[in-house]
A and B are shown apart, each in its own frame.
Chain A
C-alpha cells in the first residue's frame, strides 16, 4: 500500500474553509479536474503537500500565493509537465474526467491533447504564425480544413485581425503580447477541455496584460481555465474561484469575491492585504 493511500485515511480534508452560513460552490459538485491528496517532491524538497482541489468546468480558477509556494508545481501536475523534472516523485492523484492521470494506463501525450498549457514567457516556435497554430493539430491527425482551424483559433485568441495579412511571417516578429496570444491560439487549436496558464502575463506590459485578461474572460465560455498568478488584482479581476497556497499547502479555496472580501483563514487575509509575500 502506498504512503499516499495511507495518508488518505488519516488526513483531515483541508480543501475548503467555509465561513458560517456559506455554502460550497454548486459548480464543484461535478469537477472536471480533481486534485486528490497530491504530494510532489523534488528530491528531498516537498513542493506540494497533500493538496486537494476541485476545478469546476467552464470557470476560471486562479491559484495565488507567494513565489515558491508550489502553485506552478500544482498546475504542471495537471498535464504531467512535471514528468520532465529530474528526481520528481508524485503521490496522490489528479483525476481528469474520471481517470487518474498518474495511473500507469494514462498516456501523457493524450492527456496533454485535452489539457493545454500556456507558459510564463511566450514561447512560439521559430516557425511562421500559421505553422505555429497548425503544427500540433496536423501532427495529431487533424482532418478538417486546416486554414479554417487556424483562422478560428486566432480569432478566439483575439489575434486574427492583427496577423491575418502576415500569416507566413515568423512568429518571432510579433510583439510579446501578440506572441502570448499566439501561444493561446496554438493551445486552443487542439481543442482542449482545460487550459492551464502559468503566469501568462508576467512577461507582458499592462496593455498586453489587459488584452490577455479580456481573452481569459471570453475563453471560459468554452474552456476550463486554471490560472496561476502572483498578481492578486489579476486573480480578483478574471477568476471565478481562487485558491490560496502557502508553503506547499493549499490554505483556502473559495469563490473569488469571498476570498478577497471575507477570507476564512488569517494567512489568506495577511497575504491579500499585502502583509507578506
Chain B
C-alpha cells in the first residue's frame, strides 16, 4: 500500500470513529429537542406554575387538572425508597465479594447475582403484587393498599442491587493492593481497611453505579405500574397507591387520547420533567464526587 492510500485509510477510520461518537450526542440532543418542542403546545393550555406546583393530577377527569407534584411524589417515593434499600445492600454485597469472599465463592456468587438483572421486569411486578404485598407488607402493616409504593420500591431495589454490587465490586477490586497493605500494616482490621481505605478510594465507581441504578429505578415502568397502581396521589405514605411519571406516560400512550389533546401533549411535559430530574441528579453527583473523591492516581 502506498503512503497516500495509508493516509487516506487512516483518515477514513478517524471519520468513522468520530461519526460513532457524534451519533450518541446527536441522539441525546434530538431527544431534548423533541421534549422541548412537543411540550410547547401543552404549556399553551396549562400555565407552567400550575403544572409545577399544582397538587392534583387528573388529566382524564373533568375538570382536568395538571399539577405534576403527585407524579413527582410517586416517582420520588419509589425510586428513592428503592435506592434507600439497594445502596446499602448492594455496596455491602460488593464489599463482601471484593474484600472477604474466597475466590471460589466470588466466582459463583457474581454471575448468580447478575442473573437477577436479567429477570423480565413484568415478573417483578407480579412478584410485588402477588407476594410482597400480601405476604410481607400486609402482615406487618394491615392498612397496606393492594397497589402500593412500598412493594414497588422493594422489587425495584431487588432489580438494581445487581447493578450496584457488580459495578462496585469492579471498582473496589481496581483499588491497588498496595493501599490495602498500607492499611493492614497500620494495624487496621479488615473491616477498617474495607470501609476506610478501599471504599473511599473506589468512590467514583461507587457513585457511578448508584447513578446507573438511579436511572434504572426512575425509568422502571412495567413493574412499578403493576405494583403501585395508577392513582396519582400526593402522599409520602409508602403503603398507599401512587402513580409515577413513567407509568402515566405509558397509560396515556397506550390509551386512546387523540394526538392533539392536552392529555397527549402532557406526556411530553412529564417526560421533560423526568429528563431534567435525572440530569440535575447527575450534575449534583458529579459535584459531590469532585469534592470528596480520593483518587488513587
Contacts and interface: CB of A to CB of B under 8 A. Distances in A.
Contacts of B295: 126, 172
Interface residues of A, number: 25
Contact of A125 (B179, B184, B187): B179
Contacts of B180: 84
B87 interface: no
Given A125-B294, A127-B294, A136 B188 contact: yes
Contacts of B189: 109
Interface in B159-218: 176, 178-189, 192, 196-197, 200-201
A125 B200 CA distance: 10
B248 to A, nearest CB: 44
A163 B181 CA distance: 24
Interface in A84-103: 84
B200 to A, nearest CB: 8
Contact of B185 (A81, A121, A140): A81
A59 interface: no
A113 interface: yes
Interface in B264-297: 294-297
A214 B224 CA distance: 67
B187 A113 contact: yes
18 contacts: A81-B181, A81-B185, A84-B181, A112-B186, A117-B185, A119-B182, A125-B179, A125-B183, A125-B197, A126-B200, A126-B294, A127-B200, A135-B186, A135-B196, A136-B188, A172-B296, A186-B186, A190-B186
Interface in A137-194: 139-140, 172, 183, 186-187, 190
B177 to A, nearest CB: 9
Nearest to B182: A123
Interface of B: 176, 178-189, 192, 196-197, 200-201, 294-297
Given A126-B295, A172-B297, A112 B178 contact: no
Given A126-B296, A139-B192, A116 B182 contact: no
Nearest to B296: A126
B296 A139 contact: no
A224 interface: no
Contacts of B182: 119, 123-125, 183, 186
B239 to A, nearest CB: 42
Given A125-B294, A127-B294, A139 B188 contact: yes
A205 interface: no
Nearest to A79: B185
Given A117-B185, A119-B181, A126-B179, 14 more contacts: A79-B185, A84-B180, A109-B188, A110-B187, A112-B185, A119-B185, A121-B178, A123-B181, A125-B179, A125-B197, A126-B200, A126-B201, A136-B186, A172-B297
Interface in A58-114: 79, 81, 84, 109-110, 112-113
A136 B182 CA distance: 10
B205 to A, nearest CB: 14
Contacts of B187: 109-110, 112-113, 136, 139-140, 190
Contacts of B183: 125
A111 B233 CA distance: 60
Nearest to A186: B186
Contacts of A186: 182, 186
Contacts of A123: 176, 178-179, 181-182
Contact of A116 (B179, B186, B192, B201): B186
Contacts of B176: 123
A117 B184 CA distance: 10
Contacts of A116: 185-186
B285 to A, nearest CB: 19
Contacts of A81: 181, 184-185
Contacts of A127: 200, 294
Contact of A84 (B184, B188, B197, B296): B184
Contact of A139 (B184, B196, B200): B196
A186 B183 CA distance: 11
A90 B161 CA distance: 40
Contact of A187 (B184, B185, B188): B185
Nearest to A135: B186
Nearest to A128: B294
A234 B106 CA distance: 44
A124 B296 CA distance: 9
A190 B297 CA distance: 26
Most chain A CB within a 10 A radius of its CB, from B182, B183, B187? B187
Contacts of B184: 81, 84, 112
Contacts of A79: 185
Nearest to A84: B184
A81 B187 CA distance: 11
Nearest to A114: B187
Nearest to A192: B187
Contacts of A136: 186-188
